[in-house]
A and B are shown apart, each in its own frame.
Chain A
Amino acid sequence: MAASEIIKLMDRSEYYLDSPPTTDHKKTLQGKTVINLFYENSTRTRTSFELASLKLGANVINMTVDSSSVKKGETLIDTAMTLNAMHPDLLVARHGDSGAVHLLADKVDCSVINAGDGRNEHPTQALLDALTIRRYKKNLAGLTIAICGDIAHSRVARSNIYLLTKMGARIRAVAPATLLPSQIQKLGVEVYHTMAEGIADCDIIMMLRLQSERMDSALVPSKREYFHFFGLDSRFLALAKPDALVMHPGPMNRGVEIDSVIADDIRRSLIRPQVEAGVAVRMAVMESLVA
């Protein structure tokens, strides 16, 4: 996607974010069917897409596929073919495996929105993050943005790296080496292994969720050690620019990757604005694909 297209989407998202709901919005996807196909549990992303569809007047069907029906033998492609035969106008899909949504999109006739696939991508999250940053910092170009934490397993990190570097921001990846994927620097980021260095003079600090299974697979020793060295607290935040802002894609582990006080500090935390931007961004994306 070209930077100009991204800007167009962001502009349109901002329009939806700022304008009160109108009946015109409701006509945008009137009579259209959106299927939310979620192979992974998700409260906020699914709700956000559902709300965006409803605001645009679409009919929404939620399908949460738990692992039991996978065990019954129906493959992703079988499901795709079945859904395709119902002629939806748009499919919103999330899957635990990288590339799965790509595979799905190959097999159906309608547009497919990737709502997160494995550790690959989560494009609408990156768009809403970019929009949120732009609203508070005016410009994306020239900003220094630190993405901190479990980058290896994060689709949010990858999508943000692609989008924000394209928009001219400088991206730092800050994490212990066990949580960084191989050759991440080839994606155009600078790599740091300490928060002090990684956060110094940053405009934006984007924290990522640390799953507890990372301890089981010996990637980090313990939550308390992680928080001590990689959790965002006032000590580290003081090293960033004085007006630096904090983001988190949610759901947060308070006291693991982020201190509660910072998460709730409305002068520094963009976590709530991120969620608000989410619905608007998804409206703009759906509109661009279907209307």
Chain B
Amino acid sequence: MTQKPQSRLIRGARLVDSIQTSDSPQDLLIIDGKIAEIGETISAPPQTETIDAAGLYIAPGLIDIRVQTREPGGEHEETLESAVESAVAGGITQLICLPNTDPPLDEPALIAWIRQRGQSLGKTRIHAYGSLTKGRRGEQLAEMGLLQESGAIGFTDSPQAIGSARLMVQALKYARGFNSLVLSHPEEPSLASGMMNEGELATRLGLAGRSSLAETLLVERDCLISEATGSRLHIGPVTSAAAIDAIRRAKARGARVSCDTAAHYFTLTEMAVGNWRSFAKVAPPLRSESDRLAVIAGLKDGTIDAVSSDHSPRAPDSKRLPFAQASFGMVGLETLFPLTLDLFHHHGFTLAQALSLVTAKPAAIVDIKGGTIDKGEPADLIIFDPNQDWKIDPEQFKSRSKNSPLLEYPVKGRIHQTLIAGRVVYQHQP
């Protein structure tokens, strides 16, 4: 066995933190997994492994706050192991699992187990949300305090909404004593039975429509509940113009709310459903072009705080079905980075602004370390070329599931290496 190097020096890359991109190439020295020094020219200590990153960029590893893994219970679609393989290929160094496993994450032991499993895999750091209600049934509160002691970093029944306003009030009140984060999935269940965005295309395809009113109503309701209880609330994914505007107004009133969207909501529209393409079936549904532009505007003015992948792996047999029978969801861990860079390439965001949506900002929402490049902090980093052109090919994904409608979708920006605690956990093979 070879001795793993104690120190590593990344040479000649430009640094992107959440504020700006450095004007000139920098060296970054990692000692014992932590960032030891950043400077124009650093002389390496003996036995330092050097990574030549000339012409490339370094940024904090991505933090994905909305990931469905399928372990336990749906290992044929994704295991924690395949999820982290997929995540590191996508430059994601921390991810937070939604609790919709089978059984759901409503038991403290399950949260502890998932965290341990993440540690033993030694790649992307895995965190988990506890389910907000027992069994994710939307009836009784889960043991939020105990779950939090076991490491749950927030509570949600997502991708299931809390239909009962009373339950949401109680959850937010109860969470306040534990200073816990509650996350709301914004779709009023009684209005969310449709298969795709309501509108002309749904009518033409003969599919039941799912109106954005379902989203707006729940966003308005939960913002009001958050204000009334004084408890923090995170909402997501938000996808439609009216819902984003509701959050904008709530924030202006001083509500303690934050929200995220998923990368596909500013990348695709309902047109991706085309002729009943079930890979484009997600919940909330892909919306209209004006909603897509409203998502981008919301990201730009800070109404939307972060971008997630909303990774939802599905086996072929649950997608190769008539549209109405097919499962919801698309995979996203390996496309989050290039799709987010589209904001930089095409929508007037600086590189630092675009990347902060998947680094520092999500870290702040769930209150975990990371998402920045600071001396003394773990070296969770990506080395990338922001301008490299490539086309998405789901068959190449490390994820066990390949359900992405983005086949052949042209993107710009390629992860070359992903480092976690200074170790290279992913190396792009051109």
Instruction: Tell me if A120 counts as interface (CB < 8 A to partner B).
Output: yes
Name the segment of A51-59, A181-189, A204-212 touching the other chain.
Answer: A181-189
Q: List 8 A-B contacts (CB under 8 A).
A: A95-B322, A119-B206, A120-B206, A120-B207, A182-B198, A182-B209, A186-B203, A187-B204
Q: How far is the CA of A103 from the CA of B211 in the complex (A)?
A: 25
Instruction: Tell me if A276 counts as interface (CB < 8 A to partner B).
Output: no
Q: How far is the CA of A102 from the CA of B277 in the complex (A)?
A: 11
Instruction: Tell me if B249 counts as interface (CB < 8 A to partner A).
Output: no
Per-residue CB contact flags for chain B residues 194-218 toward chain A (1 = under 8 Å, else 0) read: 0000111011111101010000000
**For residue A70, which residue of chain B has the nearest CB?**
B325
Chain A residues lying within 8 Å of B209, measured Cβ to Cβ, are 181-182
Chain A residues lying within 8 Å of B228, measured Cβ to Cβ, are none
Per-residue CB contact flags for chain B residues 272-284 toward chain A (1 = under 8 Å, else 0) read: 0001100000000
Chain A residues lying within 8 Å of B321, measured Cβ to Cβ, are 75-77, 103
Residues of A within 8 A of B (CB-CB), count: 23
Instruction: Tell me if A30 counts as interface (CB < 8 A to partner B).
Output: no
Q: How far is the CA of A187 from the CA of B211 in the complex (A)?
A: 19
* Chain B proximity of A161: nearest CB distance (Å): 10
Other than A99-B323, A155-B206, A182-B202, give 17 A-B pairs with Cβ distance below 8 A: A75-B320, A77-B321, A99-B276, A99-B322, A99-B324, A103-B320, A103-B321, A118-B207, A119-B206, A119-B207, A120-B205, A120-B206, A158-B204, A181-B203, A182-B198, A182-B209, A187-B200
Instruction: Tell me if A121 counts as interface (CB < 8 A to partner B).
Output: yes
Knowing A98-B207, A120-B206, A182-B209, say if A103 contacts B200 (CB, 8 Å). no
Q: How far is the CA of A181 from the CA of B211 in the complex (A)?
A: 12
Interface of B is mostly: loop
The 5 A-B pairs of least Cβ separation, nearest first, read A120-B206, A99-B276, A97-B322, A98-B206, A100-B322
Knowing A98-B322, A99-B275, say if A181 contacts B205 (CB, 8 Å). no
Q: How far is the CA of A102 from the CA of B203 in the complex (A)?
A: 16
**For residue A184, which residue of chain B has the nearest CB?**
B203
Knowing A98-B276, A99-B275, A103-B276, say if A76 contacts B322 (CB, 8 Å). yes
Q: How far is the CA of A97 from the CA of B198 in the complex (A)?
A: 17
Name the one of B200, B206, B211, B322 contacting A186, with C-beta atoms under 8 angstroms.
Answer: B200
Residues of B within 8 A of A (CB-CB), count: 20
Instruction: Tell me if B317 counts as interface (CB < 8 A to partner A).
Output: yes
A99 touches B205 (CB 8 A): yes
Q: Which of B198, B206, B325 has the most CB of A within 10 A?
A: B206
Per-residue CB contact flags for chain B residues 94-130 toward chain A (1 = under 8 Å, else 0) read: 0000000000000000000000000000000000000
Q: Which of B204, B322, B323 has the most CB of A within 10 A?
A: B322
A182 touches B324 (CB 8 A): no
Q: Which of B308-333 contact A (CB under 8 A)?
A: 317, 320-325
Q: How far is the CA of A106 from the CA of B349 in the complex (A)?
A: 42
* Chain A proximity of B38: nearest CB distance (Å): 54
Chain A residues lying within 8 Å of B317, measured Cβ to Cβ, are 75
**For residue A159, which residue of chain B has the nearest CB?**
B206
* Chain B proximity of A77: nearest CB distance (Å): 5
**For residue B275, which residue of chain A has the nearest CB?**
A102
Q: How far is the CA of A118 from the CA of B323 in the complex (A)?
A: 11
**For residue A162, which residue of chain B has the nearest CB?**
B204
* Chain B proximity of A218: nearest CB distance (Å): 10
Q: Which of A95, A98, A121 has the most CB of B within 10 A?
A: A98
